[in-house]
Amino acid sequence: MTLTFLGIESSCDDTAAAVVRGDGTILSSVVEGQTALHAAFGGVVPEIAARAHAERLDGCVMQALDQAGMALRDLDGIAVTAGPGLIGGVLSGVMLAKGLAAATGLPMVGVNHLAGHALTPRLTDGLAFPYLMLLISGGHCQFLIVRGAEDFVRLGGSIDDAPGEAFDKTAKLLGLPQPGGPEVSRAAEAGDPKRFALPRPLLDRPGCDMSFSGLKTALLRERDKLVAAQGGLYRQDRADLCAAFQLAVADVLAEKTRRALVSYLEEAPSAPALAVAGGVAANTLIRARLEDVAAQVGATFVAPPLRLCTDNAAMIAFAGIERFRNGGRDGMDLTARPRWPLDQNATPLVGAGRKGAKA
């Protein structure tokens, strides 16, 4: 029987609900962002996020059911993000899911938000286990071997900023608008990536861990030198700085991905695949470099459409179905967890990230 689940997501700054079938059909996917609410503060304010989630979740769920042409009784279960993330937001979602489960008698499944991202290539492309996943967004940065719906091996990740966060901070340093990723990459098109020699952090060390905060500091130093020498930045300076920054991030991601692929290929997957998720996967240069690295070792490259790469509830519904199929169920004792690493055996990453502790 094909299962149909409602998914609920509220772990960061997107309030989302979706209705998804186990065969990968997305019947509806509603995402209400909060960018405008946090814009004045230069980052996500947890209290504001939690309040907005609490106010908007009901409406998102109703809209998702409406668009799917379904009522609660047509569902087979409810999946909800139970962490990791900003605790107030996660709690809002978990409380709503509990209320709905209690009222309808439907089974409830708590989902790890990162598992939602990591399983998306199965939702979109039916990818078989095991595949290598690179999560690169404003809040996440890690390599995972996805062996099963609840079986993940983390090969490494950023020890400080996520790459999207570094793009956003770079944009801020150069007076470009937010979100910074698309702005920096647009400016980089007219730039010379060789004019400034920015570092390639942690490339000299073995393994797949990454660091992006030093890169931003190096860029700040170059900016300040220019400002001191000429009183400001010309458009070309900005373009060259953006191009140098983007190339440095792409170089680091490409080399670390090459290493992660080597570890992953040791598992001798029958159909090797590299999948990416997260907003930074939208970057044309980074994407091309990752595609290249995958092709060099004969791995298929999978990049789900952007609306499913960024935070959404369809991935939560689908991950919930995968857990449910494995016998996963939660009761009224389901707790919201601010931290919840996918790979319990991996050493914790140091950085918490702008959007809260993620893994």
Stretch that binds ligand KG4, among 35-43, 104-112, 234-242, 276-284 (CB under 6 A): 276-284
Rounded least distance, CB 93 to ligand KG4, Å: 16
Nearer to ligand KG4, 124 or 137 (CB): 137
Phi, psi of 128 (to 5 degrees): -90, 150
Based on the shown chain and the rule CB under 6 A, indicate whether residue 89 belongs to the binding site for ligand KG4.
no
Residue type, 76: D
- Return d(Cα 196, Cα 220) in angstroms, integer: 12
Rounded least distance, CB 221 to Zn ion, Å: 31
Based on the shown chain and the rule CB under 5 A, indicate whether residue 161 belongs to the binding site for Zn ion.
no
Nearer to ligand KG4, 217 or 326 (CB): 217
Per CB under 6 A, the list member of 18, 226, 280, 336 interacting with ligand KG4 is: 280
Q: Do 353 and 12 form a contact (C-beta atoms < 8 A)?
A: no
Nearer to Zn ion, 222 or 311 (CB): 311
Rounded least distance, CB 14 to Zn ion, Å: 8
Rounded least distance, CB 269 to ligand KG4, Å: 26
Please classify residue 339 by burial: count the beta carbons closer than 10 Å to its beta carbon, then call 0-12 exposed, 13-18 middle and 19+ buried.
middle
- Return d(Cα 296, Cα 293) in angstroms, integer: 5
Q: Other CB atoms closer than 10 Å to residue 271's CB: what's the count? A: 11
- Return d(Cα 319, Cα 210) in angstroms, integer: 27
Per CB under 6 A, the list member of 86, 275, 282, 357 interacting with ligand KG4 is: 282
Based on the shown chain and the rule CB under 6 A, indicate whether residue 137 belongs to the binding site for ligand KG4.
yes
Based on the shown chain and the rule CB under 6 A, indicate whether residue 269 belongs to the binding site for ligand KG4.
no
Stretch that binds ligand KG4, among 76-84, 100-108, 176-184, 200-208 (CB under 6 A): 176-184
Residues 290-319 close enough to bind Zn ion by CB under 5 A: 311
Q: How far is CA 264 from CA 131, 205, 274, in A?
A: 8, 19, 10
Q: Which has the closest alpha carbon to 170: 140, 138, 209, 215? A: 215
Q: Which has the closest alpha carbon to 139: 328, 346, 310, 336? A: 310
Rounded least distance, CB 146 to ligand KG4, Å: 18
- Return d(Cα 45, Cα 57) in angstroms, integer: 18
Q: Do 255 and 203 form a contact (C-beta atoms < 8 A)?
A: yes
Q: Interface residues with ligand KG4 (CB under 6 A)?
A: 12, 137-139, 164-165, 167-168, 179-182, 185, 278-280, 282-283, 310-311, 355
Catalog residues that contact Zn ion under the rule CB under 5 A: 311
